[in-house]
Structure 1
Amino acid sequence: MEWTSRGIVLGTRKHSETDVILEVMTPDRGRHLGLVRGGRSKRHRPALQPGNELQLTWKARLSQHLGAFTIDPVRSRAAELMASSLALHGVQHLAELLRSLPERDAHQRLYEALQVVLDHLGDAEIAGPLIVRFELALLEELGFGLDLSACAATGRMDDLAYVSPKSARAVSREAGRPYHDKLLPLPPFLADGQRQPGSEIPFHDIRDGLTLTGFFLERNLSANDSRSAGGLRTQLQSSLEAHFRKHRPWEFL
């Protein structure tokens, strides 16, 4: 068995004194593991950092075997990602989220979304909304997608302001007003598809987005996955808040 593809490094773990098991996200093979011989060497270690992109060839005698990777670096993001706490926490969080996917199931949409988020982790004002959207996409790929297209109570498609924690469907401001304390806030950048992630989005909207996706991630991921992802999300949100407190202090007055 043999195949060749590009892959984004999610992480490694020690296998022997010289080798590692590499975990990557690929467009057509999904999350995949394989042995890298000599992976702990000075030659390979820089390429095997989370967030880097590799050209991979995987070989195994049988498809169900672990198999072995040969690697060639394509794009190095690791130095940029390690330059800020937000980017470092972000790449760790994204990798942990992707571990909730079954191994070797193709998710090309998530692979492409991962590339976009990684390319913008250095800019908190873009990265925050992108991470929320990535989490929504992950929930959808896992079969737990939210329906934000119209109000669950009235069918209207405008002035959507809440999400029902029971049905995972949007609720309009008018219909949700009597029950607002039992509903989850729906931030405008998710309710209005015409707005793109950017510097105009205030931190409280990003925080509401993370609260929204966090609720459904915790409910639908396994207990171990949700605990692990939850700790990383807390670090990520703290890094985001620190950025906004520094660069937009008026939002916290």
Structure 2
Amino acid sequence: MEWSDEGIILGLRRHGEANAIVELMTAAHGRHLGLVRGGSSRRQAAALQPGNGVRVVWRARLDEHLGTFALEVVAPRAGRLMAYAHSAFALSHVGSLVRMLPERDPHPGLHETLVAVVEHLDEPRLTGMLIARLELMMLSELGFGLDLDRCAATGGRNDLLYVSPKSGRAVSRDAGEPWRTQLFELPYFLIGEVAEPPSRHDVEAALELTGHFLARRVFEPRGTALPDSRAALIAALHRLDAS
């Protein structure tokens, strides 16, 4: 068995004295693990860092085997991403989210989005927006997508400002006004393109929204809490805003 693909390194762990098991998110083969011979050596370990983009060849005798990776780093991002607290925490959080997916389950659209997100995680003004959008996409990829296209009360598509914390459906300004204190805000950048990075308030509102549904629909049913890296990322972004 053999295939070639492109991917992003999510993580790695030592395997024996010199080898490493590397976890990738690939374009056509989903989240996939493989053995890299000599991957724990000083020469290779520096390249096999989370966030780096790679070309990969996977080989195994049978499809169900772990198999081996031959990796070539084509986008060495890890150095600059690990240089800042907010991007390091964001990268860790991205890995935690992707690990919610079944192994070897293809998600080509998600991989394409991940490439764009990871490329810009060291830009503080964009990081919160990118993570909130990714979390919204992850909810959909996991089968828990929110219905943000039309108002739950009227069916209209205009002036959508709120989201029901129970149904995950959008609510328009007029329909939601009487219950606005019980609803989440719906920042526009979650449903449309924006010319400028969103305000701190909108980023916080978006992360509150996506965090609620990730906790309720993804992590809590598995008996776990939201990853610590998420809270650390939000704290790091707050420190940057205050500086």
Same fold (TM over 0.5): yes
Q: 1:73 to 1:228 in 2, by over 3 A?
A: farther
Distance in 2 of aligned mates of 1:113 and 1:226: 28
Residue number in structure 2 paired with 1:43: 43
Asked whether the equivalents of residues 93 and 229 of structure 1 are also in contact (C-alpha less than 8 Å), the reply is no
1:66 deviation in Å? Answer: 0.8
Q: 1:179 to 1:129 in 2, by over 3 A?
A: same
Residue number in structure 2 paired with 1:13: 13
1:227 deviation in Å? Answer: 4.0
Render the CA deviation track for 1:99-154: whole Å, top value 9, x for unaligned: 00000011111111111111111111112111111111111111111111111101
Asked whether the equivalents of residues 215 and 225 of structure 2 are also in contact (C-alpha less than 8 Å), the reply is no
In the alignment, does 2:129 pair up with 1:152? no
- Aligned pairs (5 A) from 1:77-226: 77-191=77-191, 193-196=192-195, 198-199=196-197, 201-223=198-220
Asked whether the equivalents of residues 218 and 226 of structure 1 are also in contact (C-alpha less than 8 Å), the reply is no
Asked whether the equivalents of residues 18 and 40 of structure 2 are also in contact (C-alpha less than 8 Å), the reply is yes
Distance in 1 of aligned mates of 2:50 and 2:240: 23
Asked whether the equivalents of residues 31 and 105 of structure 2 are also in contact (C-alpha less than 8 Å), the reply is yes
Runs of at least 5 residues in structure 1 that lack an aligned partner in the other structure: 247-253
Q: 1:235 to 1:184 in 2, by over 3 A?
A: same
Runs of at least 5 residues in structure 2 that lack an aligned partner in the other structure: none
Q: 1:233 to 1:211 in 2, by over 3 A?
A: same
Equivalent position amino acid for 1:215 in 2: H
Distance in 1 of aligned mates of 2:232 and 2:222: 16
Distance in 1 of aligned mates of 2:225 and 2:76: 26
Asked whether the equivalents of residues 162 and 186 of structure 2 are also in contact (C-alpha less than 8 Å), the reply is yes
Q: 1:222 to 1:190 in 2, by over 3 A?
A: closer
Q: 1:77 to 1:97 in 2, by over 3 A?
A: same
Select 1:239's aligned residue among 230, 236, 239: 236
Equivalent position amino acid for 1:244 in 2: D
Q: 1:229 to 1:46 in 2, by over 3 A?
A: farther
1:194 deviation in Å? Answer: 4.1
1:239 deviation in Å? Answer: 1.1
Q: Pairwise CA RMSD of aligned residues?
A: 1.6
- SS of residue matched to 2:105: coil
1:189 deviation in Å? Answer: 2.2
Distance in 2 of aligned mates of 1:49 and 1:104: 21
Residue number in structure 2 paired with 1:64: 64
Distance in 1 of aligned mates of 2:14 and 2:226: 22
Distance in 2 of aligned mates of 1:13 and 1:65: 18
Distance in 1 of aligned mates of 2:133 and 2:51: 18
Render the CA deviation track for 1:43-102: whole Å, top value 9, x for unaligned: 210111000011111111111111111111111001110111011001100011000000
TM norm structure 2 = 0.95
Asked whether the equivalents of residues 128 and 240 of structure 1 are also in contact (C-alpha less than 8 Å), the reply is yes
Asked whether the equivalents of residues 58 and 67 of structure 1 are also in contact (C-alpha less than 8 Å), the reply is yes
Number of residue pairs the alignment of both structures matches? 243
Distance in 2 of aligned mates of 1:211 and 1:26: 29
- SS of residue matched to 1:21: strand
Distance in 1 of aligned mates of 2:133 and 2:223: 18
- SS of residue matched to 2:135: helix
Overall identity of the aligned pairs, in %:
47
Residue number in structure 2 paired with 1:54: 54
